[in-house]
């Protein structure tokens, strides 16, 4: 059994004051850091994803350019590669992160499974390399990228838990619905 922690999109643009700031995002960043400090060596591999969008195009229609964003499929520009908004939140200590994953380079991407390392290695290859069987998921946002990442891990045959005290969602209703969906898929929704 090999365990992994997925830290999903704990970036400046997804925390308070960012382009798509989520209430509680900064607390999630600090909480994940505290959790890792309190549980050294708990995970065989810690992976952190970041949206890493192109700044010169609409990223496959992901950025609203002509019309107002609908906040379902189109969004304001966010997490543009090389900008402060794309960086990890300063309260997230990345010292314990073994693998960094970038997703959404020129296209919409919600799940960590759609990303790759800076060297171009796709996430499934990284997981296979480490023999990962069990995954805990934390980060932002419950109802979008956390949901998509947890579902993809489950569909990839992993035993999956979502740690509810270390996530933050865009909206209460859609976050509650996402957690119910995850449970219906056999994902454990629990406190850290």
Query: Which of 136, 145, 152, 158 is an active site residue?
Result: 145
Q: 9 an active-site residue?
A: yes
Q: 103 an active-site residue?
A: yes
Least Cα distance to 153 among 187, 120, 121 occurs for 187
CB 127 within 8 A of CB 4: yes
* CA dist list (Å): 12 to 87, 152, 165: 6, 24, 19
Residue 23, H or E segment: none
Residue 42, H or E segment: none
- What residues have CB less than 8 Å from 24, skipping those under 6 apart? 168
* CA dist list (Å): 131 to 4, 20, 93, 124: 10, 34, 25, 10
- Give the span between the Cα atoms of 80 and 161, in whole angstroms: 29
Token pair 């900064």: residue: 26
Query: Which of 79, 103, 136, 152 is an active site residue?
Result: 103
Please state, as a whole number, how many other Cβ atoms lie within 10 Å of the Cβ of residue 3: 18
Residues marked active site are found at 9, 103, 145
């Amino acid at each position: 059994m090999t365990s992994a922690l997925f830290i999903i999109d704990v970036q400046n643009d997804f925390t308070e004051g960012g382009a798509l700031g989520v209430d509680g995002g900064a607390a999630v960043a600090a909480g994940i850091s505290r959790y890792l400090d309190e549980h050294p060596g708990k995970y065989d591999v810690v992976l952190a994803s970041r949206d890493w969008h192109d700044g010169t195009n609409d990223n496959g229609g992901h950025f609203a350019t002509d019309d107002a964003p609908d906040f379902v499929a189109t969004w304001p520009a966010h997490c543009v590669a090389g900008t402060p908004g794309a960086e990890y939140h300063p309260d997230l200590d990345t010292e314990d992160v073994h693998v960094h994953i970038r997703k959404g380079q020129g296209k919409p991407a919600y799940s960590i499974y759609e990303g790759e390392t800076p060297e171009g290695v796709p996430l499934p290859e990284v997981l296979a390399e480490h023999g990962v069987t069990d995954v805990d998921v934390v980060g932002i946002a419950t109802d979008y990228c956390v949901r998509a990442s947890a579902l993809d891990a489950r569909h990839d045959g992993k035993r999956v838990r979502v740690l509810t005290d270390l996530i933050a969602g865009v909206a209460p209703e859609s976050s509650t619905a996402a957690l119910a969906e995850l449970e219906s898929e056999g994902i454990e929704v629990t406190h850290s």
